[in-house]
Amino acid sequence: MKKPNVITGQRLNDGIVVFWTGDSWVERIDRAQVREGDESLASTVESLKLEHRNSIVDIYAIDVEIGGEAPRPVRFRERLRSVGPTVRPDLNRGETAKP
């Protein structure tokens, strides 16, 4: 069984991690579109890479767990990316920012 996932990338102009809502990129994972084992995931990621190549880089899908206030990335690296800078806790992304 495929795990739920969200699509993420990094904004080119400032390096901020962003998440795909289905229509636009946002900075908070709690607003991301959760995909449930979608067969078209690879083609969606490739389309987003082409469409946003001048503004968003390193676009890929991450596995998430569903529950609580927001989807929670399965891998620790992705959890850290989703909350913001670890060297400046004052810049984290709010209530849902818990690694």
Q: DSSP string of 32-67?
A: SPPEES-TTHHHHHHHHHHHTTTTEEEEEEEEEE--
Residue 86: is its pLDDT beyond 60?
A: yes
- Assigned domain for 96 exists: no
Q: Which domain holds residue 55?
A: 4-91
- Assigned domain for 69 exists: yes
- Assigned domain for 78 exists: yes
Choose between 7 and 91: higher pLDDT.
7
How many domains are there within the chain?
Answer: 1
What predicted TM-score, i.e. pTM, was given to this entire model? 0.83
Specify the pLDDT at position 89. Answer: 65
Beta bridge partners of 80: none
- Assigned domain for 99 exists: no
Question: For the chain, what is the mean pLDDT?
Answer: 87
- Assigned domain for 23 exists: yes
